[in-house]
Amino acid sequence: MSIDSPRLNRRDFTKTTVLGCAALATGAVRATAAAPKRIRTGVIGCGSVSNAYLPVLTKSPFVEVVSLCDIRPDRARRQAETFKIAFHYPHIDRMLAGEPFDFLVNLTDMQEHEHLNRQALAAGKHVWSEKPIANSLRAGQGLLRLAREKNVRLWGAPITVQSPQFAFMARTLAQGALGRVAAAHANYGHEGPNWSSFFYEKGGGSMPDLAVYNLTTLTGLLGPAKRVTAMLSIVTPEREITDKGRIKVTEEDNAMVLLDHGKGVISHVQSGFNYFNPHGHEGRGEQRHTVSIVGSKGYLGLVGYDWEPLGVDLATQKQPQMERHATDAQGYIWQQGAALAAESLSTGLELLVTPEHALHVLEIITAARKSQETGKRVTLSSTFRWPVA
């Protein structure tokens, strides 16, 4: 599959994706004469999030999961048994030298993504990476260059721009229903994971784990950011981690990030690992507006989290009573990114999620850290294709 494959338009995308999602949901192969090509897939990292990815991947008509890998071999073995995967390995070298595959899905610790993604791309594999794709913009751009040289694809989570609620908000903004857009706010937090220490160590932190969703959504809706100002802090300096005991927290667990999108539009993302939430990590329980955008003639509020949105409330000068829209998920689920990427490899479907957007968000995160260190506003250099939808 070439990286220059033609883009599908929005309508084709929705049609194809809805069909794909219906197939994913039912586990059925599409009712076409020829069965779709299944992309031979290896999954590295068999921890918590693999329990969300593997059920989707193993049901996708576009995926054949051929191998699993984890440096904790018991985890790879257990998931191989549960999901009936023939091969499992304790190291990426063994995985790459073992049963052949074309597409690596990287679900390892945040700090491990960059070098594993590089090794897989260098070996000619397409890559879907959990966030972040790399640890710095420069390294991420290097990975993208490598992917182009090797004629393979690279994508990264999250996929908030693929939801029908994102599409509704983008369309409403493009139609000018809000008048002159002025400001936006987004927030996402919970009490922090307790199963792995990497979330709290250098290269981890609440921004690449949680704020990344809101940053993707707001830059997707309002355009690439030009400048960043941030305040970050550590609220809980020590944490109790299962299997590890007490650890020191060295990356932010509390973040306030201000983005200047140009033309006077300013947004704010608030995120952290110390957010009491009566719904815990359960997306469906959250009914508040976690993303809101206001302009001179209207207001948009995303109901629930942007990774599992439940609808969009809109009020305008013409229609001041808040009305709820886009309540149908249309098959969208946050954990389907790698399956969509495989669908793209199989059919040529172009996704709305792009590596350039993921790298722009990564630059915002590193710029926010620089702003915290220096007390200064930081100018960004990266951008991405916008509007997204």
Ligand X SMILES: NC(=O)c1ccc[n+]([C@@H]2O[C@H](COP(=O)([O-])OP(=O)(O)OC[C@H]3O[C@@H](n4cnc5c(N)ncnc54)[C@H](O)[C@@H]3O)[C@@H](O)[C@H]2O)c1
Q: Which is nearer to ligand X, 28 or 52 (CB)?
A: 52
Q: Comparing C-alpha atoms, which of 247, 196, 219 is closest to residue 359? A: 219
DSSP per-residue codes, 55-122: HHHHH-TTEEEEEEE-SSHHHHHHHHHHHT-SEEESSHHHHHHSS--SEEEE-S-GGGHHHHHHHHHH
Residue whose C-beta lies closest to ligand X:
47
CB 195 within 8 A of CB 242: yes
Q: How far apart are CA 22 and CA 381, in angstroms?
A: 39
DSSP H/E element including 339: helix 337-347
Q: Which is nearer to ligand X, 46 or 302 (CB)?
A: 46
Q: Which is nearer to ligand X, 113 or 360 (CB)?
A: 113
Q: Enumerate binding residues for ligand X (CB under 6 A).
A: 44-49, 69-72, 75, 92, 107-110, 112, 116, 130-131, 195-196, 209
We find the least distance from the C-beta atom of residue 180 to ligand X, in angstroms, to be 35
We find the least distance from the C-beta atom of residue 100 to ligand X, in angstroms, to be 19
We find the least distance from the C-beta atom of residue 143 to ligand X, in angstroms, to be 15
CB 373 within 8 A of CB 251: no
Q: Which is nearer to ligand X, 261 or 357 (CB)?
A: 357
We find the least distance from the C-beta atom of residue 199 to ligand X, in angstroms, to be 7
CB 216 within 8 A of CB 157: no
We find the least distance from the C-beta atom of residue 195 to ligand X, in angstroms, to be 5
Q: Which is nearer to ligand X, 71 or 183 (CB)?
A: 71
Per DSSP bridges, beta strands 39-44 and 103-106 are parallel
We find the least distance from the C-beta atom of residue 183 to ligand X, in angstroms, to be 28
DSSP per-residue codes, 229-270: EEEEE-S-SEEEETTTEEEE--S-SEEEEEEE-STT-EEEEE
Q: Which is nearer to ligand X, 45 or 309 (CB)?
A: 45
We find the least distance from the C-beta atom of residue 94 to ligand X, in angstroms, to be 10
Q: Which is nearer to ligand X, 131 or 185 (CB)?
A: 131
Long-range contact pairs involving 76-81 (C-beta distance under 8 Å, separation at least 24): 76/46, 78/46, 79/46, 79/50, 79/54
One-letter amino acid identity for 325? Answer: H
